[in-house]
Structure 1
Amino acid sequence: MSNLTAIFGSSAEKSQDSEKLMDLYWNRAELKKEFAGMRKEQFRLEDKIKRQEGATARLQQKLDYLEDLLIDPQQAHNVVVYFQFRGMAMQSERKLAKFAEQLKQQREQKEHDSFLGDWNDKLLEEASQVKLQILEKRDQVQQLEDQLQAERQRLTAMSAFVRFFRGRSLTKLLDDLATQIETAQQEEQTLKEDVKIIKNRQPPGSQGLDIATKRSINLMILAFAQHLYVHFANDDLVDLIKEAGEKSVGAIAYGSKYECEQLLTRMQKCNEKFEQNTDFADTLQKRALLLGERAKFHQNTDAVPDSESVRALFRIGDDGLIRESDVNMLGDNYWGISKVLSR
């Protein structure tokens, strides 16, 4: 038997060998799985590097192209004008975005203040109702105490003979009155705690703007976008500004050096006039009302009007005269308006 064990090994040794083989198998499987994950990550990073190299190459091409344009005396002035117009387009987008954000914050603050006012009024009303209950409870306690005092005096005034026959029932009445007083006092204390809880109650968070308010905000944003359009249109620059915001450098020719200098002068004066003109709040309100009369919405839950319904541009003169023209500010996404509307 010992010879057979020496040849074939014991069952315990075979079990240990099997466990080692299983461990090796699972370790190998885990290594293969980890290796596959690493290869996948490697391919992802290599693909990311290729995309970045492509983006860098395209950017370098743009820089080389821009350098060629600036070197060319015939093109250099056009490049300067292009970037000035592009800067005006970007500045207009920033102005519209700032106006929209400030308007939203004002409306949100106004709505929140109104909500808090109503909430505090309801809180005060609720506390007042509880305080009335406290007063009623105090009156009840006072009446019970007066009755208790009267019954005690009555018991004291009784003769021994009468007390012998009626004393037990009167004593029970006194105990009942004392119990009622204690219960009423406990209820009064509970009501006082309720008042404290009401006063310490925290208001809920912001409820957000409703659809009507969002629509009102969007009409004001659209009115301000039209204000920008009208200002630039008065100097015949609006189309040039929008074109520079949509096309690449070198794709637009503005003319000779003299013509480019004239455009730069007009741009400077236009910007100066815009900064000086700060009294246009009433005009915006009138324009927003006019737009509101035309605005249509696909659904009751939509805050943004259909672009075709508000494609009328309103010029409002100092004399109140209104002139209307066809410009789809929303559909053509002037000044990036689609990004700043409330939805």
Structure 2
Amino acid sequence: MATTASSLLPRRQPADDQQLLRLFWNRAELKRELERLRRDNERLLDQLRQQENAGLRSRQRLEQLENLLADPLAAANALVHYQLRGVWQLARKHLLRFARELGERQQEREEQLAREHFARLRGNALAAIDNRLAEVERRLRVVQMDLAIVDKQRGCLRGFWNWSRRRALQDQAAAIHAALDGLRLQVADIEAERRLREAEPCPSFPGLSVEARRHINLALIAMAQQLLIHFSRHDVARLARDASAQGLAEAGYGDVMQCQQLTRNIREVMAGADAIDGMAALVRHRAEWLRGQVAYRRDADTVPLAEALAVIPLEPPTLGDSDGEAASLAVNVLGEEYWDLYGILLP
């Protein structure tokens, strides 16, 4: 009866179970996809808000600029202000490029020296290993010759009356075999040591040395001084420094005529800016002169004390010459941080 009843009840087919399982996994997958879409939506909304804020700030700046340009005096002052900031950025760009070129050249040079030094040390170590190996192999050949002599002597001893002598030679041969095994083991160990030493990679470059960084920094300071000398005409360098530290609202360069004169002065100085790229010899000479003038607080320091840079000679004296009458500028490019020099020097 029970069997009949159970046969009448509907049974769940395996296909139904598989369908339920697929529905379950599809539901979980849909939840994950929904969560991913929600995160993407929030990210896009955040980007949209940022773009809207950026657009609002741009419109505000545009309105401010329009209001500014509507006033001829304010427009003239703004023009001078941004031209001076352009001078500052140009000098800074030259320094950054010079720092990058010096760093790359010095690193390539020091890496090459490090590779040569490592190769020299490895060559010396391999030569020492080869000497040890040659000595052990020489001893091995000598012992092999001794064994051959003993074996020959044993072969010549016939008859029972030579039994004791053969036994002694046999013991001697066993000792020689033990010595040979030890020497062969030494040869194998030394050869393995040689393979390891030969395969040893050159260690990674630890970075520029303190002396190299000092050398680069002095060259950068020399370049900064040379740039200041170039832009010191019409007091453009000082005005550019002031413009870099203040906003447009604080800019004030006089009336329209004065601003126009300043614009002409700036253009005159900027017209000769192409000569900056030809300052390499002057910069090298100035850096060599600075090397004898500066001091460092600690042995590990790479930036010199600013006190030694208070005066810039227009023409650096020849090394060893202390001509106090040479024309100079009382400007400290490091202390007054011209061209954002501190941020460019290597630590």
TM range (shorter): 0.7 to 0.9
SS in 1 for 2:114: helix
| Aligned 1:170-249 pairs, distance under 5 A | 170-234=169-233, 236-249=235-248
Q: 1:150-189 residue pairs with structure 2 within 5 A?
A: 150-161=149-160, 163-189=162-188
String of CA shifts for 1:73-123, please: whole Å, max 9, x gaps: 333233223212212212222221222233233333323322222222111
Q: Is the 8 A contact 1:66 1:249 kept in 2?
A: no
Contact 1:226 1:314 in 2 (8 A): no
Give, as a single letter, the amino acid of the residue that structure 1 aligns with 2:184. Q
Q: Within 1, Cα distance between the matches of 2:300 and 2:178?
A: 60
How do 1:38-53 and structure 2 match up within 5 A?
A: none
Q: How big is the shift at 1:323?
A: 3.1
Letter in 2 for 1:160: G
User: Which letter maps to 1:152?
Assistant: D
Instruction: Provide the C-alpha distance between the structure 2 equivalents of 1:209 and 1:278, rounded to a whole number of angstroms.
Output: 25
- Is this contact kept in 1: 2:227–2:276, CA < 8 A? no
Q: Which residue of 2 aligns with 1:104?
A: 103
Contact 1:119 1:203 in 2 (8 A): yes
**Separation in structure 1 between the aligned mates of residue 328 and residue 196 of structure 2, nearest angstrom:** 59
Report the CA distance between 1:312 and its aligned residue.
1.5
- Determine whether 1:324 maps to 2:323: no
- Equivalent residue of 1:237, what SS? helix
Residues 260-279 of structure 1: pairs in structure 2 closer than 5 A: 260-261=259-260, 263-279=262-278
* 1:9 counterpart residue number: none
CA distance in 2, matches of 1:147, 1:319: 75
User: Once the 2 structures are TM-superposed, how far is the Cα of residue 255 of structure 1 from its aligned partner?
Assistant: 5.1
Q: Distance in 1 between matches of 2:333 and 2:143?
A: 77
State the match for 2:346 in structure 1: 342
Q: AA paired with 2:64?
A: Y
Measured at CA, do residues 280 and 318 of structure 1 come closer, stay the same or move farther in structure 2, by a change above 3 Å?
farther
The offset of 1:194, in angstroms, is 0.7
Q: Summarize the Cα distance change of 1:200–1:272 in structure 2 as closer, same or farther, 3 Å threshold.
A: farther
Per-residue Cα deviation, 1:40-99 (whole angstroms, up to 9, x for no partner): xxxxxxxxx9xx98x999887655433211122333233223212212212222221222
**CA drift at 1:236:** 4.2
Within 5 Å, give how 1:294-309 maps onto structure 2.
294-309=293-308
Contact 2:286 2:316 in 1 (8 A): no
Question: Are residues 109 and 87 of structure 1, via their aligned partners in 2, closer, same or farther at CA, if it must alter by over 3 Å?
Answer: same
Q: Distance in 2 between matches of 1:128 and 1:234?
A: 64
2:25 matched residue in structure 1: none
Residues in 2 aligned to 1:74 and 1:309: alpha-carbon distance in whole angstroms: 42
Distance in 2, Cα, partners of 1:156 & 1:173: 14
Return the letter of the residue paired with 1:70: L
Q: Is the 8 A contact 1:220 1:284 kept in 2?
A: yes
Does the Cα contact within 8 Å between 1:74 and 1:256 map onto a contact in 2? yes
- Contact 2:143/2:180 (<8 A) preserved: yes
Partner of 1:39: none
Compared CA separation, residues 91 and 165, structure 1 to 2 (3 A): same
Counterpart Cα distance in 2 of 1:142 and 1:80: 91
* CA 1:296–1:76: 2 relative to 1, 3 Å: same
- 1:180 maps to a residue whose letter is A
State how far apart, in whole Å, the 1-side matches of 2:309 and 2:318 are: 24
Gaps of 5+ in 2: 1-48
What secondary structure does 1:190 align onto? helix
Aligned mates of 1:175, 1:115 — CA distance in 2 = 51
Q: 1:235 to 1:162 in 2, by over 3 A?
A: farther
Q: 1:76 to 1:282 in 2, by over 3 A?
A: same
Does residue 285 (structure 1) correspond to residue 289 (structure 2)? The answer is no
Structure 2 CA distance, aligned partners of 1:207 and 1:74?
56
CA RMSD of aligned residues (A): 3.0
Task: List alignment gaps of at least 5 residues for structure 1.
Answer: 1-48
Q: What CA distance in whole angstroms lies between the structure 1 residues aligned with 2:271 and 2:72?
A: 29
Return the letter of the residue paired with 2:147: L
* Contact 2:285–2:316, Cα closer than 8 Å, also in 1: no
Asked whether the 8 Å contact 1:155–1:163 carries over to 2, the reply is no
Q: Please state how far the C-alpha of 1:159 moved relative to its aligned partner.
A: 3.5
- 1:139: Cα distance to partner? 0.9
Map 1:118-157 to 2 at 5 A. Answer: 118-157=117-156
Question: Structure 2: how far apart are the matches of 1:298 and 1:63?
Answer: 49
Which residue in 2 is equivalent to 1:117?
A: 116
- Identical counterparts, % of pairs: 22
Q: In 2, are the aligned partners of 1:93 and 1:336 still within 8 Å (CA)? A: yes
Letter of the structure 2 residue corresponding to residue 244 of structure 1: A
How far residue 257 of structure 1 moved from its aligned partner, in angstroms, is: 5.4
